C-alpha cells in the first residue's frame, strides 16, 4: 500500500487523523520504526551531543544568529558534537559554528513544506517523517540542551526537556537559555506557575538563563563532562555496513 507523502505535514496528519485500516496503520508504524532504526544507526557513534534549539526564521544579519554561531563553536571546543533540527536560522548558525571550530555537526531533520531543507553545515543528518521521532533522536543522544530564541517549535522542545528532567525520565542534564531579554516574559510566567503551585520551587532550578557564553559552557561542562565522565572514545567501532558514521575528529 502507498501512503501519500506530498509534504511533511501530510505525514503527521495521516498518522494523527484517527483510525485507518489495519494494513495502513501497520505501514504507518513500520515507517516510524524505519525512521527510528535509521536514526539510531546514523547517530550512535557521533556523540556525546548537545542539542541546540532555536528559530529557523532569524537570518545571518541578526544578532541571535551570531550568538548561535558562538554557542556552536563553544560547544565544539568543549568536545561535544552539536546537534540541531537541521534547518536554517539559528539551527544553521549553531551547526556552522561547530564546523568552523573544527567540531562535529549533526542534525535530525523533519520533512516540512517550509523550512525543511537541511542546512549546509552538517557532517551527518537524519531525515525523518514525524516530529515525535525527531524529538526522541534529539534527546536520546544529548547530555545538555541549549535553547536560543525561537517560536512554537523551540518552546515545544524546551518544555519537553524540562518535563523529561522534572519527571526523571532522563538524567538532570543541564538546560541553558541563551538571550535573557527574549526569555524574560516566559520565565515570569513560569515563576507565576510556582506561586500558583502547579510546579515546585525545585523546578525553578532546572535551567540556567544567561547571556554569558563562558558561564553557559562552564555550567554544561560541570554538569556533563565532570559529572558523567563524557568525551571518552567508544570501545566499539562504527560499522559502515550498518550505516554508522564516526564523529568528525
Give percent of the chain with pLDDT exceeding 70: 89
| pTM score of the predicted model | 0.89
- What pLDDT is recorded for position 177? 98
In a domain, 239, yes or no: no
CATH number at residue 199: 3.40.50.450
Average predicted confidence (pLDDT) for the chain: 89
Q: What gap in Å lies between CA 29 and CA 149, rounded to an integer?
A: 33
pLDDT single digits (tens) 107-152: 999 877 655 678 999 999 999 999 999 999 999 999 999 999 999 9
- What pLDDT is recorded for position 11? 76
In a domain, 221, yes or no: yes
Find the angle CA(232)-CA(237)-CA(238) to the nearest 5 degrees: 110
pLDDT single digits (tens) 31-49: 999 999 999 999 998 889 9
In a domain, 243, yes or no: no
Q: What gap in Å lies between CA 22 and CA 30, rounded to an integer?
A: 12
In a domain, 241, yes or no: no
Cα distance between the two ends of the chain: 43
In a domain, 13, yes or no: yes
Strand partners, 125: 107
In a domain, 101, yes or no: yes
Find the domain containing 194 and state its range: 8-228
156-181 average pLDDT score: 97
- What pLDDT is recorded for position 6? 45
- What pLDDT is recorded for position 248? 53
Domain count, the chain: 1
In a domain, 206, yes or no: yes
- What pLDDT is recorded for position 2? 35
In a domain, 242, yes or no: no
Amino acid at each position: 500500500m502507498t501512503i501519500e507523502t506530498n509534504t511533511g505535514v501530510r505525514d503527521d496528519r495521516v498518522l494523527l487523523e484517527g483510525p485507518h485500516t489495519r494494513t495502513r496503520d501497520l505501514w504507518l508504524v513500520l515507517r516510524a520504526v524505519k525512521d527510528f532504526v535509521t536514526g539510531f544507526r546514523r547517530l550512535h557513534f557521533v556523540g556525546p551531543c548537545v542539542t541546540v534549539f532555536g528559530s529557523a526564521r532569524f537570518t545571518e544579519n541578526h544578532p541571535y544568529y551570531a550568538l548561535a554561531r558562538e554557542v556552536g563553536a563553544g560547544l565544539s571546543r568543549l568536545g561535544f558534537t552539536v546537534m540541531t533540527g537541521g534547518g536554517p536560522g539559528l539551527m544553521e548558525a549553531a551547526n556552522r559554528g561547530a564546523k568552523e571550530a573544527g567540531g562535529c555537526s549533526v542534525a535530525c531533520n523533519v520533512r516540512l513544506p517550509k523550512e525543511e531543507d537541511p542546512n549546509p553545515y552538517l557532517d551527518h543528518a537524519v531525515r525523518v517523517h514525524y516530529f515525535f521521532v525527531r524529538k526522541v533522536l534529539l534527546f536520546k543522544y544529548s547530555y545538555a540542551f541549549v535553547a536560543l530564541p525561537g517560536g512554537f517549535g523551540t518552546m515545544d522542545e524546551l518544555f519537553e526537556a524540562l518535563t523529561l528532567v522534572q519527571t526523571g525520565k532522563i538524567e538532570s542534564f543541564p538546560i541553558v537559555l541563551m538571550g535573557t531579554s527574549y526569555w524574560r516574559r516566559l520565565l515570569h510566567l513560569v515563576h507565576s506557575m510556582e506561586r500558583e503551585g502547579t510546579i515546585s520551587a525545585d523546578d525553578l532550578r532546572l535551567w540556567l538563563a544567561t547571556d554569558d557564553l563562558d558561564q553557559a559552557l562552564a555550567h554544561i561542562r560541570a554538569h556533563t563532562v565532570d559529572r558523567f565522565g563524557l568525551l571518552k572514545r567508544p570501545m566499539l567501532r562504527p560499522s559502515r555496513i550498518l550505516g554508522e558514521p564516526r564523529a568528525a575528529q
